[in-house]
Each structure stands twice: as structure tokens, then as C-alpha cells.
Amino acid sequence: MKVKAVSSPGKITTIEKPDPIAGPDEIIVRWKASSLNYHDYLVATGAIPVPEGRIPMSDGAGEIIAIGEAVKEWKIGDKVMSLFFPNWTEGKPSLAKTSAIMGETVDGCLAEQACLKATAVTAIPAGYTFAQAATLPCAAVTAWRGLMVEGQFQAGQKVLIEGTGGMSIFALQLAKAAGARIFATTSSSAKAERLKAMGAEAVVNYKEEERWGKSIFKLAGGGVDHVLDVGGGSTMRNSIEAAAIGGHIASIGILGGGRKGEITFPKLFFKHLRMTGLAVGSRVMQQNLVDAINVNKLQPIIDKSFSFEEIDEAFQYQASGQHFGKIVLAF
């Protein structure tokens, strides 16, 4: 089979590997699509080092083409999607459950086929194409966990989403479907219009307004109940400003060079804020997301699709920051 592998930091090349064979508890999946996340970009550019030969991309959707003799949950032909953490099936995270990361510490989905434990996939939502399903495992599960699991979202609450990348747009769609009032930031006036068309009540340009958190606090009439922070050190001060008393901040990303940063601690505790650091989620969380999509019929926003061979072009497009929502690879 043909796979794409990291041959040196920042370089992905095509190699041939033998077709995998399923052990008793395993399945063989023929991948049909993948999608790009910022995490994949960090692997592809060498910012997250991986061993030579590692197959990148955490997200994949495809069809089961073989099953081991002990597998009861699946049959040949079932449509499935990957898990970011293939060993985290349920319960709280632990080192054992989260040390395997698709496309980083174990092989990912930029391959024609993969051999996985039968529990390392979930069903895709009803009626979804493979490209649509491939958008979910990292970005949408993270948005789901930040809002619904850790945030304990209630209808009518106010939610701030930051920027218009894959995770944030899923957060907007999931929050809207659950009855949220949405506030948003972006660096682009054209994207601001799209955010409003999707239901954002107010949008602030984070490049034009340095203290955008204060503006969101005012626009939301006393702050928002939930913030999905994507910038860490580059956004957290503003995220704290934007939050309402008693609000929840999910610390999700480090865009804008935000690996480290300063926050004003009294604002955190005098606002009685809860902050959760989170990395994607478990298989059960992904199954709950699929259940929700089967009811709310959420349609992922796919900005652009590239082929398996166009992986470099796809990452260049992601780096340009033009996208709104997800970038996919259709095999």
C-alpha cells in the first residue's frame, strides 16, 4: 500500500509498505479522507518532532475492509472514523490512555490502509460523506468537550469563539444548535460577515482591537459564560477579560505564538472563573458527538479539499490562514 511518511523534519514523502493484516481484536480500515488540524501542521513542519517514517495526520474516515476473528462490534463495509487518542476509550484521561496520539506518537491516517484496535474508531454520523466525517475527530470532539463536557453548557448561555479555524467553527455550530448566544473574534472583515451569517451576535477584530476581551465583555452585557481559548499566551488575558463572573474558559490552543504568556491572577479568582486545559477527548465523547450530530444534522464547513498527493499544497494553504472551517484531503 501507498503511505505518506515524514522522511525528515518538515518533509513528507510517499513510500510503499506491505498491506496490514488484522490480529484477532483488530480491524483494517481503508482510509478515504483526512482533514488538517493545527497539530498536523506542527508535525508536518517539524515543530513537533516525530521519528523518521511516521505517518502523519490524526484524523481519518474510511471503510472497514477486514476484521479479526474476535471483533464483534464491526462488520466489513462499516464506515468509521479515527480517534485522536486511540487508547482513550472512556473515563478520565491518564498517561496510559493518552500517550498514543495518531499522527505523532503512533502512525496516523495519511495511508491507504491502517490496522487498528477495534475500539480505536467510532461510527461516522448518518448520511455523512467520508470527507465530512474526517473533519470531526480532533476539531469537533475538542469543541464538544470544551462546551458540553467540561463547560456543562446550558441553553441561553453566551459563548465566545476565537478565530475561524476548524475547532472554532465547530464550536460555533455546536453551541448554536444547543441554543447559545455567540460572540466571536477574527482578523478578517469578510470572515466577520460569515460569522454573523452563521449566527454570531457580535464579532470583534482581534488585530484591530488590542483589548478585544473588554469589547466582548461589554457587547455580551457583562461577559460570556464560555470561552474557547485558541491562543494561550497570545489570547488568555483577553479571554479572561471577556469572561463573565463564574464563567468557564477551555484552554485549547497556542495560536499566535502563545506557548507561554502572562495572566493577571486576581482577574481569574475575583471573577470566580473555572479554567480547564483540554486535549481532544475520549471515544465516548466522540460517540456522544456523533449522537448529537445525528439529531442536530450539523454540516461541517469544508473550506477546501485537496487530494492525497497534494498534502504539501494543503499545508501551505492552511499556513496562509485564508481558510474558514476545515481543510480536507480526499483520497
Q: Interface with ligand NAP by CB under 6 A: which residues? A: 37-39, 138-139, 142, 162-168, 185-188, 191, 206, 230-231, 234-235, 252-256, 278-280, 318, 321
Question: What residue type is 49 in one-letter code?
Answer: P
Q: Which of 331, 272, 255, 227 is nearest to 37 (CA)?
A: 255
Query: At closest approach, how far in Å is the CB of 245 from ligand NAP?
Result: 23
Residue number of the CB atom closest to ligand NAP:
165
Q: How far apart are CA 154 and CA 179, in angstroms?
A: 8
Would you say 273 or 285 has its CB closer to ligand NAP? 285
Q: Phi/psi zone of residue 111: left (φ > 0), alpha (ψ -120 to 50 degrees), beta? A: beta
Continuous segment of H or E residues that includes residue 6 = strand 2-8
DSSP 220-248: TTS-EEEEEES-GGGTHHHHHHHEEEEEE
Lookup: cell for 125: 454520523
Query: At closest approach, how far in Å is the CB of 204 from ligand NAP?
Result: 10
Query: At closest approach, how far in Å is the CB of 181 from ligand NAP?
Result: 19
CB distance 33 to 134 below 8 Å: yes
SS3 41: helix
Would you say 116 or 140 has its CB closer to ligand NAP? 140
Query: At closest approach, how far in Å is the CB of 27 from ligand NAP?
Result: 25
Would you say 128 or 324 has its CB closer to ligand NAP? 324
Would you say 55 or 254 has its CB closer to ligand NAP? 254
Would you say 37 or 215 has its CB closer to ligand NAP? 37
Query: At closest approach, how far in Å is the CB of 232 from ligand NAP?
Result: 7
Query: At closest approach, how far in Å is the CB of 57 from ligand NAP?
Result: 12
Lookup: cell for 139: 476539531
List Cα–Cα distances, 121 to 11, 60, 76, 128, 228, in angstroms: 28, 9, 14, 16, 26
3-state DSSP helix/strand/coil percent for the chain, to nearest 5? 30, 30, 40
Q: How far apart are CA 316 and CA 170, in angstroms?
A: 22
Query: At closest approach, how far in Å is the CB of 140 from ligand NAP?
Result: 9
Would you say 180 or 242 has its CB closer to ligand NAP? 242
Query: At closest approach, how far in Å is the CB of 280 from ligand NAP?
Result: 4
Place of cell 469572561: 243
Would you say 186 or 215 has its CB closer to ligand NAP? 186
Would you say 125 or 325 has its CB closer to ligand NAP? 325
CA atoms within 13 A on the CB side of 40: 35
Q: How far apart are CA 119 and CA 302, in angstroms?
A: 27
